[in-house]
């Protein structure tokens, strides 16, 4: 482990990793995962998983054994996301391994039910491949699952002008990977950190009991570069938010009829975002109401993609 791996100098900050939140025009999350961030995460999860060592592999596998490991998708349709993190997990543990992927990030693999589709191959120490197999597959299958579901959401509204956004309902510790996979799948990243934008939500309004005051306070006292978004649940709250000068308004958990009425009432004065329990079953209907943005966390609840790694002990290098 080299101290240089952790060194941040000059302009090596997160700004070059970030995409722009289309709602707030502020940086949010990585467009391409950065090796510094990956290394920190990988070292932590390897330590967590290995404990005091893989007793089974050390007992059963000769240390000189070499093999080829092939990673396959076992589903008929999958969007690839997470190749970098998969590669880093294997390389961090054993730099002598060689890895070649036959697909690229964002590729949609399509096959027949029951047909395995090759993602990539790893050559080298059998012991090293076995020890890192589950960690690598866990991350790759999770990120592919998120990207695959996100692609379906994006496709469902591709003939309508609404823009798909993700949310902050990610798994703690995995946010950057979850949001990266969502980006690969075709969504835009909404807020990454709480500091990325001002979003006045239901509970803020409940505590204050004065929506107009909150909006004016945010506009006058908040950072000047941040837009003010307000969550509303009725047309009356929408009217209040418009009059108080909200920059963006979120229509939260509204019926399709109420959303349509709010879009008509707002008449394009500010961007409108639909939110709340939106998934593949209803996203197209929500987009037809005329909202500008649709935020969903459904991709972060998607099942992991079904991947497997199979060894060929006769094909090692």
What is the mean pLDDT, run by run of 10 residues, along the chain of 317 residues? 28 38 53 76 95 95 96 96 95 97 95 89 98 98 98 98 96 94 94 89 92 94 92 96 96 97 97 97 98 98 97 69
Q: Per residue in 87-117, pLDDT tens?
A: 999 999 999 999 999 999 999 999 888 789 9
Q: What is the pLDDT of residue 313?
A: 85
Specify the pTM. Answer: 0.89
By residue count, the chain amounts to 317
Q: Note the CATH number of domain 3-155+303-312.
A: 3.90.1170.20
Q: What is the pLDDT of residue 30?
A: 52
* Among the listed residues 104, 83, 44, 36, the one whose alpha carbon sits nearest the alpha carbon of residue 180: 83
Helices (H), the chain: 35-50, 55-60, 83-93, 126-156, 175-185, 202-208, 211-221, 235-244, 256-266, 283-287
First to last CA, the chain: 26
The domain covering 156-301 belongs, at the CATH homologous superfamily level, to Aldolase class I (3.20.20.70)
Which residues sit opposite 80 in a β-bridge? none
The domains of the chain are located at 3-155+303-312, 156-301
The Cα 82–Cα 148 span in angstroms is 12
The Cα 199–Cα 169 span in angstroms is 15
Q: Per residue in 151-192, pLDDT tens?
A: 999 999 999 999 999 999 999 999 999 999 999 999 999 888
Q: What is the pLDDT of residue 32?
A: 63
Q: What is the pLDDT of residue 113?
A: 81
Which residues sit opposite 98 in a β-bridge? 123
């Amino acid at each position: 482990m080299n101290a240089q791996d952790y060194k941040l100098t000059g302009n090596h900050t997160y700004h070059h990793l970030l995409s722009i939140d289309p709602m707030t025009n502020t940086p949010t999350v990585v467009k391409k995962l950065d090796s510094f961030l990956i290394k920190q995460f990988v070292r932590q999860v390897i330590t967590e998983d290995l404990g005091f060592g893989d007793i089974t592999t050390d007992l059963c596998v000769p240390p000189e054994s070499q093999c080829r490991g092939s990673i396959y998708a076992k589903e008929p349709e999958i969007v690839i996301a997470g190749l970098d993190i998969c590669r880093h997990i294997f390389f961090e543990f054993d730099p002598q391994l060689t890895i070649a992927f036959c697909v690229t990030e964002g590729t949609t693999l399509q096959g027949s039910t029951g047909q395995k589709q090759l993602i990539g191959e790893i050559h080298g120490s059998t012991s090293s491949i076995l020890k890192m197999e589950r960690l690598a597959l866990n991350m790759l299958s999770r990120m592919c699952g998120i990207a695959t579901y996100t692609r379906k959401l994006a496709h469902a509204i591709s003939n309508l002008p609404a823009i798909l956004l993700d949310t902050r309902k990610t798994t703690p510790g995995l946010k950057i990977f979850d949001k990266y996979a969502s980006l690969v799948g075709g969504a835009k990243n909404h807020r990454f950190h709480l500091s990325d934008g001002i979003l006045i939500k239901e509970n803020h309004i409940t505590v204050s009991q004065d929506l107009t005051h909150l909006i004016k306070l945010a506009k006058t006292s908040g950072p000047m570069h941040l837009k003010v978004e307000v969550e509303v649940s009725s047309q009356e709250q929408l009217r209040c938010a418009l009059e108080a000068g909200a920059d963006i308004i979120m229509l939260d958990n509204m019926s399709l009829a109420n959303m349509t009425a709010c879009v008509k009432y707002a008449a394009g004065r500010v961007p409108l975002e639909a939110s709340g329990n939106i998934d593949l079953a209803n996203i197209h209907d929500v987009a037809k109401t005329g909202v500008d943005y649709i935020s969903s966390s459904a991709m972060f609840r998607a099942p992991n993609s079904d991947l497997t790694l199979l060894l060929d002990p006769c094909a090692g290098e």
